[in-house]
Amino acid sequence: MVEMTTHFNSDIDELDAFYLRGDLLRPAFGQWDACDPVCHCILDLVEAQTELQDTFDDFVDHGGSDAAIEAARKKRRAVAKKLMNALDGRES
């Protein structure tokens, strides 16, 4: 199991806090970010993560294949590398 990092102390459950962070951050995302290749990679990574989750759901609900899961994992890994390259190529 993946250990979640706590970003703040709260009485809110960590999973609820995760969703709350996403809801709070989403409205401000995009104004300047559209010009930043790193932000495009972040969105690609979120999309790849969503596809992986959908593949897991399909596997559980409909008996999907191990090959489909592996393909989704490879895609996520490739997008993560793209993000790391974009970060390495940027000046702070």
Question: Does the pLDDT at position 92 exceed 60?
Answer: no
Q: Which of 13, 68, 70, 64 is nearest to 21 (CA)?
A: 13
Residue 11 counted as domain residue: no
Residue 25 located in a structural domain: no
> Is there a domain that residue 81 lies in?
yes
What domain range is 77 assigned to? 31-88
Taking only the tens place, the pLDDT of each residue in 29-83 is 777 888 888 989 999 999 999 999 999 999 999 988 899 999 999 999 999 999 9
Number of domains in the chain: 1
Flag whether the pTM goes above 0.95. no
**Could you read off the pLDDT of 1-26 as tens digits, one per residue?**
556 665 666 788 888 888 888 888 88
Please compute, for residue 8, the number of CA atoms within 13 A of its CA located in the half-sphere on the CB side: 9
